[in-house]
Structure 1
């Protein structure tokens, strides 16, 4: 079953293409790493899937429905880029943050989200009292508090220490493997996600390649994504 289908997608602003002729079928339960240079359209792709913006051409479907129709009954978990680094000064507790944005969250779902990200003991602490990794886990707990079938993450490991990064990656693997949550992760951490993700999408306005990480992360594809480099990030993993 396809969790996400993108058919003939074009998105442009003032006749300048951000994404062009995107055709993707993302299976339910996929753990997808999305890579590409700055300006490749990675964040735009997530925003199209969420229905925040609409394509100029083509169609986005979530489980066979348009995003607006799907979101009337279901939710999609979303972690925007660098959110934990930009709005942590507000005097809000972890508990208040995780509950925010929802009309109502069941006690079971709320406790589950805290437990998954191992922050139950932090629920009464304010965001400003937390480390960068703890703040990121709080925002991720908020993203899954409704138990979504789809989770979209925009550079979730940016700006956190290596131990926190490794713990987050372990938790994401659990969410994908044990709860069958379809995860799409935009990342510049190519070497790490080559080992974590089940599938890689190489994006540079168009789909450069899509498939198994070990087959895709070869120099010929990296050269298409990063033509200015002669040594590619995954070689240092």
Structure 2
């Protein structure tokens, strides 16, 4: 079943195309890593899927519906870039953070989200008392507390220590494998997600290539994705 589809999608900013002729179909249950240089349109792609912005041309569908219609009845989990590093001074507890943004959340959903990211013991802790990795888990718990079918993550491993990163990746694997959540991850950490994601999308305003990591992360594709580089990111993984 197609969870997400984009057909002939264009998006421009100040008359400059950020995304051009994007044709993409993402199956339900996919774990997709999205890579590309700065300015490639990766975050814009997530915002189009979320319905935060609309394409200037083309069509975006979530389970056959426009994003704004889909979200009226079904949530999409979303973790914006660097949110846990920029918003943590508010005097709220982990539990209050996870509840925020929802008119009403079932206790079992709240408990499930905290359990998935192994932070139930931190539920009464104030955000600023947490480590960077713990804060990231709290924001991720908030993103899944509605038990969405789709989860979009923008650079989720940025700014956290290696141990927290390893834990986070294991938890994402569980969400995808055991709960069937479709996961899209924007990342510069190509080497790590080459081992985690089932599929890699190489994006540079256009779809450069899409496929299994072992087929995609080759020099000919990386040269198209990073045309000005002689050292490709995956080489140092």
TM-score of the superposed pair, with normalisation by structure 2: 0.99
The aligned length equals 237
**Aligned mates of 2:88, 2:225 — CA distance in 1:** 34
**Aligned mates of 1:9, 1:173 — CA distance in 2:** 30
Say whether residues 1:144 and 2:169 are aligned partners: no
**Aligned mates of 1:14, 1:186 — CA distance in 2:** 24
Say whether residues 1:65 and 2:65 are aligned partners: yes
Map 1:122-201 to 2 at 5 A: 122-201=122-201
Equivalent residue, structure 2, for 1:229: 229
**Aligned mates of 2:150, 2:236 — CA distance in 1:** 31
What SS is found at the alignment partner of 2:153? Answer: strand
Equivalent residue, structure 2, for 1:5: 5
Q: Which aligned segments of 4 or more residues in structure 1 are displaced greater than 2 angstroms?
A: none
Say whether residues 1:55 and 2:58 are aligned partners: no
Map 1:78-117 to 2 at 5 A: 78-117=78-117
**Aligned mates of 2:230, 2:38 — CA distance in 1:** 17
**Aligned mates of 2:66, 2:216 — CA distance in 1:** 30
| Residue 18 of structure 1: how far off its partner (Å) | 0.2
| Long gaps (5+) in structure 2 | none
| Residue 186 of structure 1: how far off its partner (Å) | 0.1
What SS is found at the alignment partner of 2:113? Answer: helix
**Aligned mates of 2:94, 2:124 — CA distance in 1:** 6
**Aligned mates of 2:95, 2:145 — CA distance in 1:** 11
**Aligned mates of 1:211, 1:23 — CA distance in 2:** 14
| Long gaps (5+) in structure 1 | none
**Aligned mates of 1:47, 1:231 — CA distance in 2:** 30
What SS is found at the alignment partner of 2:202? Answer: strand
Equivalent residue, structure 2, for 1:206: 206
**Aligned mates of 2:53, 2:132 — CA distance in 1:** 30
**Aligned mates of 1:219, 1:88 — CA distance in 2:** 40
- What is the root-mean-square deviation of aligned Cα atoms in Å? 0.5
What SS is found at the alignment partner of 2:136? Answer: helix
Query: Once the two structures are superposed, what CA deviation does each residue of 1:187-212 show, in whole Å capped at 9, x if it has no partner?
Result: 00000000000000000000000111
